[in-house]
Structure 1
C-alpha cells in the first residue's frame, strides 16, 4: 500500500462532481495506463467479463469487472498508480503458498497480512510483475465463481 500521498487522491477529488468517465478517461489519468490496458485485455481474453464503471464515495469512480453473477475484481485509481481488489476465496491459500517465491515483492508484503478471516485482497499495480500477480488472483476468483455456477 502506498503512504499518505493518497490522502489527497487527485482522481477521486477530480471525479467527485464529474460525469461518469469512460475507460479512456481512466487511461488518460494514469501514468502507468499500459498496465491497466494489458490487465483489461487479459481479463477480456480469458473471461469475457462485464466491465462496469461504478461510483463509491470512498473511491470515486472505479472499474468493476464481473462474471458469473459475481465480482472478479475492482480497479481503484490512485494518484499515480491503480490498485486491484479481488475477493479472496477460502481455497486461495493452497494455490498461493507454493507460488510465493515467484510472486512480486508487493504481493508478498500484502500476503503477509492474510488471515483466515481475509475476504478480499488489495494489491497496488506499478510493475508488470504486480500486474501478473493480479491476473493470477483474478483467476482464483474466476475459478470460485465458475464452481459456484455449477452447483
Structure 2
C-alpha cells in the first residue's frame, strides 16, 4: 500500500467517525465543490462537533466551521451541520436587505460544508450567521442495503 493510499484510508476513517460512515467525493464532475456567497478559506476550519462542545470559546469573533450537512431548508437560506449527539448547528445566510438571502444552497444538497461567519447561541440552538458557504458533495461508498 502506498503512502498516498494509506493517507486516503486514514482520511476516510476520520471522516467516517464524524459523519457516521465512510464517504468519498462524488465521481460526477458536475457535482464538484461549489461556493455560495463570499469565498470561504477552510484552512483554519473547526469541526462542528468541537464548536458545539465548547460554543462559548467560539461565540462572538469570526469563526470558520466545517461539518456534514444534516439538512437544508426549502428556501436554501439556512442549512444545518451535524454536531454528533447534540442538536445540529444552524448556518444562516446574512440578509443585506429585508427578506433577501445573500446566498442560497440547493435544498437537496448532501455533503460537507465549510461556513465562515459569527457564532451566537440562542437557547440551545447554535447559529452561525455566515457570509459564505462552500459545499463538497459526497456519495456513500458502501450504500445501506
TM-score computed with the length of structure 2 as normaliser: 0.30
- Which structure has the highest helix share of the two? 1
Q: Which has the higher strand share?
A: 2
- Structure of higher RCO (CA pairs closer than 8 Å, 6+ residues apart): 2
